[in-house]
């Protein structure tokens, strides 16, 4: 059966750890200028319904560094869902490429495409999940803290796709996770239940709260994201009211451990979900996160497309 990555739940704890290990290994080779063309002759199709900076450039660069080739396919340039079914698009692309990355609005569309694809499909972002971001985040945390199990990650703000994936990833690896979200903006109930089951096996603690101060208390990592994501522009006024009091600022960050790191998947809006002195301050590792999208995706691509 073809292995897909649509959410972090598609990976076992050992598989996540193996991807992170491979990513760290390839990062060192990249830093030393050593060749690592492990996917020579492989082609990756990239179907993007949403605009992107980090996801597109990191995947294309990753395939180039690995000796392969990436083809960017805007939905305006192909027939996906417009004159051709998602199933038929998946079947056709499977004849030409070795893997497919999708960045779509509806998670259900990614699931359908994967169901009909005979090559691995990677979720580069949907409205429900962002596993590639979670892998880069876990790699960054491990680099900065020297370990993962037993740490505490605090999420502040919208219980969105990044929150869902990070919660799943943390619970798989024994990382305690606390999310503080306004009522009505909590992470997906199904994801929370999956994470609770993961946590029972890994020994992690999981909490979904409404109080940012309680969530951030004694945290090793404080994480936030934008209050209004792509496709939510009509909800902007409502969201601004709901998230008042959920800004990560120096006073909130002081409740975390003194050596806590601040994370944000970017793009960021300084003065809204985070203040400039936090995201540009000494606790911030956002640019390490951004760089690690490249390396985490290399580890992922090699594990999924490489020779077994």
133 is catalytic: yes
How far does CA 116 lie from the centroid of its chain?
24
251: left (phi over 0), alpha (psi -120 to 50) or beta: alpha
293 is catalytic: yes
How many CB atoms neighbour CB 16 within 10 A? 20
Active-site choice (132, 170, 188, 265): 265
How many CB atoms neighbour CB 15 within 10 A? 16
56 is catalytic: no
How many CB atoms neighbour CB 169 within 10 A? 28
The Cα-based distances of 26 to 18, 147, 182 in angstroms read 12, 19, 39
* Sequence-distant (≥ 6) Cβ neighbours of residue 258 within 8 angstroms: none
Q: What angle do CA 130, 48, 65 make, to 5 degrees?
A: 80
225 is catalytic: yes
Active-site choice (107, 264, 293, 295): 293
Active-site choice (109, 170, 225, 264): 225
Q: Is 161 helix (H, G, I), strand (E, B) or coil?
A: helix
Active-site choice (54, 109, 133, 142): 133
40 is catalytic: no
Active-site choice (130, 264, 283, 295): 130
Active-site choice (103, 142, 239, 295): 103
Structure token digits, residue 154: 């605090």
List, as own/partner pairs, every contact residues 25-30 make where C-beta atoms lie below 8 angstroms and the sequence separation is at least 24, other chains included.
25/299, 26/295, 26/298, 26/299, 26/302, 27/292, 27/295, 27/298, 30/65, 30/294, 30/295, 30/298
54 is catalytic: no
Q: Which residues belong to the active site?
A: 103, 130, 133, 225, 265, 293
């Amino acid at each position: 059966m073809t292995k897909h990555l649509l959410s972090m739940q598609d990976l076992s704890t050992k598989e996540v750890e193996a991807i992170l290990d491979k990513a760290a290994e390839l990062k060192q080779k990249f830093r030393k200028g050593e060749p690592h063309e492990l996917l020579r002759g492989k082609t990756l199709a990239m179907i993007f319904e949403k605009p992107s900076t980090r996801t597109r450039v990191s995947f294309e660069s990753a395939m180039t560094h690995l000796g392969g080739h990436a083809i960017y396919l805007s939905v305006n340039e192909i027939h996906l869902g417009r004159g051709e079914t998602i199933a038929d698009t998946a079947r056709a692309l499977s004849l030409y490429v070795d893997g497919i990355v999708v960045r779509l609005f509806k998670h259900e569309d990614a699931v359908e495409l994967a169901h009909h694809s005979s090559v691995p499909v990677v979720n580069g972002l949907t409205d429900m999940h962002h596993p590639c971001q979670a892998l880069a985040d876990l790699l960054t945390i491990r680099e900065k803290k020297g370990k993962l199990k037993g740490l505490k990650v605090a999420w502040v703000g919208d219980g969105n796709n990044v929150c869902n994936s990070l919660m799943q990833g943390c619970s798989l690896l024994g990382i305690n996770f606390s999310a503080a979200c306004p009522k009505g903006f909590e992470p997906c109930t199904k994801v929370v239940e999956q994470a609770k089951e993961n946590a029972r096996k890994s020994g992690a603690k999981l909490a979904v709260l409404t109080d940012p101060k309680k969530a951030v208390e004694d945290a090793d990592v404080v994480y936030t994201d934008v209050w209004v994501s792509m496709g939510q522009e009509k909800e902007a006024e409502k969201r601004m009211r709901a998230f008042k009091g959920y800004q990560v600022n120096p006073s909130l960050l002081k409740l975390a451990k003194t050596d806590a790191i601040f994370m944000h998947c970017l793009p960021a809006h300084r003065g809204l979900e985070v203040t400039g002195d936090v995201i540009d301050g000494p606790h911030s590792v956002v640019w390490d996160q951004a760089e690690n999208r490249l390396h985490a995706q290399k580890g992922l691509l090699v594990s999924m497309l490489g020779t077994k």
